[in-house]
Chains A and B, each alone.
Chain A
């Protein structure tokens, strides 16, 4: 292991103008080993050069930054990537962090945050641009989306449909009598079952009986 004086950085951005601007920003503190302009080139070059940190845009031709990161992580779990992007949506940032990125910096904040983010990445720490940090943290804390929370109460429409179902009408008949499509009826039924944690028609019928929607 040769201790390097300056971290080696690979830059991936298809916008030459921005890339040019970043070059001067990065070369001040880092060893810029290469600049690529699309996702595939990023994967290929990163494998070849093995930079310490990759600074990449998300929206890029051929392969976007997040997908490129996924491929790189197949070779090397610990690849360090800082995303530098125009996208201010939390979705991007969360997805980037979930994909294993260490940094998420907005382009126009680059002068003040990019260097910090790269250093943090060098140390294996995460850095999310201050504008989004709170939201991303919350989003990640919530974890991946789970199934919807059970609906405690049925809507009037659902009660109506449940009653008709329990009385033995088909979705088609119910659709006709409520002037909606059979598909809509099926959807309401599915939603009720899901919401109530019910898995069969029989249980649904039982529920309707218990609720007093029908008498048998």
Chain B
């Protein structure tokens, strides 16, 4: 038994889930089905364009899934009657298994097919004929379950247009295919072109094949025009692909082509009053949507589109030399000139490519920089060997080297010291870069080809040191070298390779004597080797410096372009250099001296300490620096800056400078701050709200719930997340909510609020106010539902108790009045009547005049008393309500009011149900009574209309007056006008009370009361 219950609950749940899934798709009874009868297949204009526009518009605008069957009937190839049978049989089968909601024949051929087979195929399905030429529409169509949308072809206007734009036209060649449909059109043309016979010769081309037609068109007489009408199949029965035919025709034709369909405009025809095929399709789709949404096809008036505005192709006008002045007034000219994009496509693409290139360059340089840094680190390390060259700026290397050369020469009594370098000149050449001569002092640079000194080159490349005291000592293989040395006047020579690690020597330090020969002791050579090493290091450093500077310059350029500010801090000298952008970011003007302290002063006091610590740490650990901080400019504006820097170490590994970049991130920071604030706010709202809030998937599953929701339902968060809302909702309230969700998902409503019952975990029922809204993504796809749940169980209970109480009060009150009224009527007045009767009898049988007179007085007194008691009884409870019904009671009441003053009271009773439950009759009676009383007492009304009629299975009472009205927003009036009591009475019987009043414009009290139903 228990198991059975559980199973049925599960089953129920899965049915709910299914319903909800279906609801989320917005589908209840499967997609709508539409059958398109396409007469000639998809490739034939204009029908193809009509059908395509119809399909796409329908799919787009219907806002629910639609299943479109597009059946090409291929009618062109078959005579109407004999070839159709298989198609009809096919459709019959198809429609039996898949009945459709709407049949849409395209063109007149499609329509005829539909009309011929309507009875057997789709007798009761509405038909929407799209684009049938009005002159060919079968008699009796559309009838009462069909309609149509089309355009009326104006054949004479085509010839008129041709004659207007090309007045000297003598021949018009009209192209038609050979199908029955086209022949019919050809006949129409022949007939309607008749009136132009005296002005032009109209020839109908009916060559057997398309190729022959094209050939003919390539050789037309002067002053000709081609009218390209329908060309579905040629005389041989071969179907033609429409656009292809027009394209080929345009290629070969020696006369302008008058094309006719809007969908083909631009393919070679000159233009004119185009047949709006796509527009017809789109209009048809909109009509179809009305029918699919329930409108009767027969009630939708057939639509015939307005004549279109002439449109012409500028290129064709140019080609055929047709002046724009001749075009019909109001003509539109298209394809006039290439657009902006076409004109400036390459500059735009170039700019984009340039930007991409620049980005690539920046990336490359950043890689390059790291390699250089390595080289520079090596160079500075080596330079430490010599105290003179320690931390020597690159620019001073040359001077220092030449000074060193001078001192070496002076000390060693050498004549010439030269530094040759390979790499800094053209390939294959030594370049003299540093020269000192005792005689001449420093000299300008000279280039020598290494081809003149092959032996020197060899030993230097081998890094060998061969001191030459006398040229005679030189080996035989050095003959050329010796010869060249002699020419230069050299007596002794010592060449030291300037070599760095394993690399090929970058150059040579060459020490020479020219006055005398001299020896080169090995110790001297060793000492000079140190000098060579120092020089090597210095030169290498100089080169690295140069490369770095170039690299930095390029980086700076690139960085500035990317809005980066670049800064360099010379740590030792405490000088800061910044690029223009950096100066701007820190608010510096021009070229003032900047040091670290000055920079720090520009940083927001609250960020200063952090920046100082970060920089110190970077210097101490020789790390990269990174930080975000605010700058405060002299004018007080604040900026958020992000900065990255790198420490460059000197020769001893001590930091000498830092280089880095800065970017203004104020905008991002501001956005981040506000985003964070808003996120925190929403989170707090969500978590701490006093109402239950949940994010619910469109499938009904809770995705996110807050604590309050958990406590409302008595489930833990984890339990809730594994349930769906229909697991908890009371079955009787499920339908309403699902209905709302469906409307939400289909976009009919933005949100909804309902009062529903739900089950708590302990099985108890709670009342909640459930407000649901749909959150959509920017693209409009539905994402999730936001559900707000408020527990109103207590309120509901209190309301119910209150309603019950006031219900009982009103009932008790009415019962007491009725009892009292009955008492008065049934007892007191009857007894008075009896006395009156007796008195009357005595009066008639009295002996004397005076006793008769007395009895008459008594009787009349009794009658008056009886009348008064009766009136009192009636006021307490109108017995007429039970005796004669609501209508009579209202009439009597109106008459009673009429007697109180000069009011025109009209009662209008519609056909009322024979039996109205007494509680409902009494309610309406009391409301009417109250309303009339208000009209008379407060509103100074002169005219009151009371009406009761049956409405929607209930009763509607209206009391209208022409009095001064009141403002329903003022509560004071409500109390004094007894509106609360009216409302209460009506509410108790599940009715609605509406009061419409405007000061000065009278009041309407409207009550709608269901006839059935138990009081709430």
Contacts and interface: CB of A to CB of B under 8 A. Distances in A.
A90 B871 CA distance: 13
Contacts of A184: 994, 996, 1004, 1006
29 contacts: A15-B833, A21-B838, A58-B883, A59-B879, A64-B883, A86-B829, A86-B830, A87-B870, A87-B880, A91-B880, A91-B889, A91-B895, A92-B884, A95-B884, A107-B830, A107-B866, A108-B859, A110-B833, A110-B836, A111-B839, A112-B840, A148-B906, A155-B960, A155-B1002, A181-B1006, A183-B992, A184-B996, A184-B1006, A187-B1004
Interface in B984-1016: 992, 994, 996, 998, 1001-1002, 1004, 1006, 1008
B994 A180 contact: yes
Given A18-B837, A22-B837, A183-B994, A148 B908 contact: yes
B883 A21 contact: no
Contacts of B880: 87, 89, 91-92
B883 to A, nearest CB: 5
A66 interface: yes
B989 to A, nearest CB: 16
B892 A89 contact: yes
B863 interface: yes
Contacts of B891: 91, 145
A111 B855 CA distance: 12
A87 B873 CA distance: 11
Interface of A: 14-15, 17-18, 20-22, 24-25, 58-59, 64, 66, 86-92, 95, 107-112, 145, 147-149, 155-157, 178-181, 183-184, 187-188, 191
A191 B957 CA distance: 12
B862 interface: yes
Interface of B: 825-826, 829-834, 836-841, 843-844, 859, 862-863, 866-867, 870-871, 874, 879-880, 883-884, 888-889, 891-892, 895, 906-909, 945, 947, 956, 958, 960, 962, 968, 992, 994, 996, 998, 1001-1002, 1004, 1006, 1008
A11 to B, nearest CB: 13
Contact of A91 (B836, B866, B884, B906): B884
Given A147-B908, A157-B1004, A187-B956, A86 B833 contact: yes
B883 A92 contact: yes
Contacts of B945: 148
Contacts of B825: 59, 86
B1004 A90 contact: no
Most B CB within 10 A of own CB, among A90, A95, A179: A95
A201 to B, nearest CB: 13
Given A86-B866, A155-B1001, A157-B1001, A110 B892 contact: no
Q: Is the interface of B mostly helix, strand, loop or mixed?
A: helix
Nearest to B863: A108
A15 B826 contact: yes
Given A24-B841, A64-B883, A109-B863, A181 B907 contact: no
B908 to A, nearest CB: 4
Contacts of B1006: 181, 183-184, 187
B895 A90 contact: yes
Contacts, number: 136
Contacts of B841: 24-25, 111
A108 B866 contact: yes
Contacts of A14: 826
A108 B998 contact: no
Contacts of A188: 1004
Given A58-B883, A148-B906, A108 B1001 contact: no
Contacts of B826: 14-15, 59
Contact of A157 (B829, B895, B1002): B1002
A108 B832 CA distance: 8
Given A108-B866, A112-B840, 14 more contacts: A15-B830, A18-B837, A20-B834, A66-B884, A88-B867, A89-B892, A90-B895, A91-B891, A108-B867, A111-B839, A145-B909, A148-B908, A187-B1004, A191-B958
B756 to A, nearest CB: 23
A107 B895 CA distance: 22
A160 to B, nearest CB: 9
Contacts of B1008: 183
- Interface centre among A24, A58, A111, A188, by most chain B C-beta atoms within 10 angstroms, is A111
B884 A17 contact: no
B47 to A, nearest CB: 35
A108 B888 contact: no
Contacts of A24: 841
A168 to B, nearest CB: 16
A125 B841 CA distance: 25
Contacts of B836: 107-111
Contacts of A58: 883
A9 B482 CA distance: 176
A110 to B, nearest CB: 5
Contact of A110 (B837, B992, B1004): B837
Contacts of A187: 956, 958, 1004, 1006
A187 B992 CA distance: 13
A89 B825 CA distance: 14
B234 to A, nearest CB: 51
Contacts of B839: 111
Nearest to A22: B837
Nearest to A147: B908
Contacts of A183: 992, 994, 1006, 1008
B435 to A, nearest CB: 99
Contacts of B866: 86, 107-108
Contacts of B833: 15, 18, 21, 86, 107-108, 110
A187 B947 CA distance: 11
Given A25-B837, A108-B832, A156-B1001, A180 B844 contact: no
The 7 residue pairs across chains A and B that have the minimum distance between CB atoms:
A111-B840, A107-B833, A108-B836, A15-B830, A91-B892, A148-B908, A21-B837
B892 A17 contact: no
A157 B1006 CA distance: 14
A86 B48 CA distance: 86
Nearest to B1000: A156
A92 B884 CA distance: 8
Given A108-B832, A157-B998, A90 B909 contact: no
Contacts of A25: 837, 840-841
A91 B888 contact: yes
A212 B841 CA distance: 72
B298 to A, nearest CB: 16
Kindly name the residue among A89, A157, A179, A184 whose own CB sees the greatest number of chain B CB atoms within 10 A: A89
A184 B995 CA distance: 8
Nearest to B864: A108
A69 to B, nearest CB: 13
A22 B837 CA distance: 7
B890 to A, nearest CB: 9
B372 to A, nearest CB: 74
Contacts of B958: 187, 191
A17 to B, nearest CB: 5
Contacts of A181: 992, 994, 996, 1006
Contacts of B830: 15, 17-18, 86, 107
Contacts of A64: 883
